[in-house]
Amino acid sequence: MSTNTITTASEFELVSGLEIHVQLNTNTKIFSSDSASFGAKPNEHISPVSLALPGALPKLNKAVVEKAVKMGLALNCTINQRNYFDRKNYFYADLPKGYQITQDNLPICQGGYIEVTLGNGSVKRIGINRIHLEEDAGKSMHDQNDRYSYVDLNRAGVPLIEIVTEADIRSSEEASALLTEMRKLVRHLDVSDGNMEEGSLRCDANISIRKSGTTAFGTRCEVKNLNSIRNVRRAMDFEFNRQVDVVTEGGTIIQSTLNFDAENGTTSPMRSKEMANDYRYFPDPDLPPMVLSDQWLDRVKAAMPALPSQITQELMENYNISNGEASLLAGDAELLAFFYKGVEAVKHKKSLINWLVGPIRALLNERALSIAAYHVTPLQLAEVINLCDDKKITQQVALQQLLPAIENSQQSNIPALAKSLNLWIEENDDELEGFIDEVMAKYPAQVSAYKKGKKGVLGLFVGEVLKMAKGKADPQKVNIQVQKKLA
């Protein structure tokens, strides 16, 4: 991008709002008893209701309502205790009825907000316009046959909530932070698995621009079906720059629905943007208005867990840790539960946090495991950390040898297991000095460079000595001894 383009772009402001579609993790669909699970063979989870056969009537799934209300409470919304469903009319091959059951004039939740923390530490409040309930459509596949399109209706009728934000987003970073927080919330509340790869969390981004300092909204374009947080950022950045180029060259933004090409990072028109009256909304006559009693709503409120933002604040205050560390723990319910079970058993609480957000998290990611599937208990890990903090074994040995041994052993005495595997740090100063002398002799040029001020080679010496000691030497002690020898 040229300096001139950057200067031009800085004269404009991005204005965006997101429409976030969350697939609810109920066992059955929103208006039928068909399974809502992912991964079945095509058209396996269907029935007369999913197929919209004549005479088939919808019946509302109560679990769907509770999950929508929980999300509304978490986002500081007003819960409309009397609301109803509408028909949104349009034709598509994977929409058997010829309309979608959704909510238009009176959604279940309205008027909330969410606060997100940005990279510079500032907090941005983004308004929530509404949350409404609706059914998902099926799936059309156009690449399976040269002559025909295939339709899979397993997803037809799967329950969704659509979270519509206000046009408060001013950068792709804010959009990314918002989606990250939303994914954290839906998982924490057990509303959805938030898996964007499987379509459980999808996002449409409405994007417009205006001259910096002005308040009128520009013409918006909607980028559809963004399936990763990274792609939301890429699509938003590309579309902002595209619209700036159009306007600065004297052109006009045409309101349209856009597709995002993830391979090339570009947007392209799909169709002109529909207006609300194109859908001919009207109340669904097959579904009576939904009435939420005070008593039922009070029970849902009472069952609400502490939210990730609250837990993050408590962790920061109680354990003197950073916002990033606290957010990692608060955003993963299983990791947080593991932490709480182990924290009273470690001598240094910060050590457990360092291990969980550092090497243990990396180990689990590498093996594609959740902490719940890890065959080391919180108390066992606490014992291992205590051995490391007491300089009985090194962290390297613990990660590479002791923890795998614990996973595969019935031995409950961790110190005894470490001793039986000969993992204990050996305090043999003569042997250690011998290792250091060997390393100095092996790298005379680096020794000379160190003495001339190139202190960065110290790590080479320490690493070589630890290798020779086969991990059974205290790195801190080795560091000190090496520096003494070099001096």
Specify the pLDDT at position 34: 96
Q: Using CA atoms of 361, 366, 370, 372 in order, give the dihedral in degrees to the nearest 10.
A: -80
Do 49 and 32 contact (CB within 8 A), yes or no?
yes
Q: How is residue 260 written in tokens? A: 């995002």
Do 94 and 137 contact (CB within 8 A), yes or no?
yes
Kindly indicate the confidence band of residue 274, based on its pLDDT and cuts at 50, 70 and 90. low
CB neighbour list of residue 12: distance below 8 Å, 6 or more residues apart = 209, 210, 211, 212, 240, 243, 244, 247
Confidence check: pLDDT of 381 > 70: yes
Specify the pLDDT at position 89: 94
For the ranges 84-93, 160-169, 477-486, which has the lowest average pLDDT?
Answer: 477-486
Confidence check: pLDDT of 7 > 60: no
Do 181 and 18 contact (CB within 8 A), yes or no?
no
Specify the pLDDT at position 412: 82
Q: Using CA atoms of 221, 224, 227, 230 in order, give the dihedral in degrees to the nearest 10.
A: -10
In one letter, which amino acid is 446? Q
Specify the pLDDT at position 410: 76
pLDDT in tens, 448-472: 776 766 776 677 776 776 677 666 6
Average of per-residue pLDDT values in the chain: 88
What is the Cα–Cα distance from 478 to 29, expressed in whole angstroms? 62
Specify the pLDDT at position 421: 87
Q: Please compute the mean of the pLDDT values over residues 349-365 and round it to a whole number.
A: 92
- Residue with the bigger pLDDT between 458 and 256: it is 256
pLDDT in tens, 123-174: 999 999 999 999 999 999 988 899 999 999 999 999 999 999 999 999 999 9
Q: How is residue 42 written in tokens? A: 């095509």
Counting residues of the chain whose pLDDT is more than 90, the rounded percentage is: 61
In one letter, which amino acid is 92? Y
pLDDT in tens, 295-323: 999 999 999 999 988 899 899 999 988 88
Confidence check: pLDDT of 436 > 90: no
- Residue 221 dihedral angles phi and psi, to the nearest 5°: -120, 145
Do 451 and 486 contact (CB within 8 A), yes or no?
yes
Specify the pLDDT at position 470: 66
CB neighbour list of residue 189: distance below 8 Å, 6 or more residues apart = 67, 70, 71, 74, 304, 305
Partnered with residue 259 across adjacent β-strands are: 268
For the ranges 193-202, 269-278, 352-361, which has the lowest average pLDDT?
Answer: 269-278
Do 133 and 108 contact (CB within 8 A), yes or no?
yes
Nearest to 14 by CA among 203, 176, 225, 180: 176
Confidence check: pLDDT of 428 > 70: no
Confidence check: pLDDT of 4 > 60: no
Confidence check: pLDDT of 481 > 80: no
In one letter, which amino acid is 269? P
SS (H, E, C) the chain: CCHHHHHHHHCEEEEEEEEEEEECCCCECCCCCCECCCCCCCCCCCCHHHHCCCCCCCCCCHHHHHHHHHHHHHCCCEECCEECCEEEECCCCCCCCCEEEECCCCCCEEEEEEEEECCCCCEEEEEEEEEEEEECCCEEECCCCCCCCEEECCCCCCEEEEEEECCCECCHHHHHHHHHHHHHHHHHCCCCCCCCCCCCEEEEEEEEEEECCCCCCCCCEEEEEECCHHHHHHHHHHHHHHHHHHHHCCCCCCCEEEEEECCCCEEEEEEECCCHHHHCCEECCCCCCEECCHHHHHHHHHCCCCCHHHHHHHHHHHHCCCHHHHHHHHCCHHHHHHHHHHHHHCCCHHHHHHHHHHHHHHHHHHCCCCHHHCCCCHHHHHHHHHHHHCCCCCHHHHHHHHHHHHHCCCCCCHHHHHHHCCCCCCCCHHHHHHHHHHHHHHCHHHHHHHHCCCHHHHHHHHHHHHHHCCCCCCHHHHHHHHHHHHC
Kindly indicate the confidence band of residue 443, based on its pLDDT and cuts at 50, 70 and 90. confident
Q: Look-up: residue for tokens 């007491």?
A: 390
Specify the pLDDT at position 282: 95
Specify the pLDDT at position 430: 59
The total of other beta-carbon atoms located within 10 Å of residue 430's CB is 6
- The full set of domains in the chain, from first to last, is 3-297 (no CATH), 308-412 (no CATH), 429-486 (1.10.10.410)
Specify the pLDDT at position 431: 59
pTM of the model: 0.79
Give CA separation, 331 vs 116, 328, 365, 430, in Å.
Answer: 13, 5, 15, 49
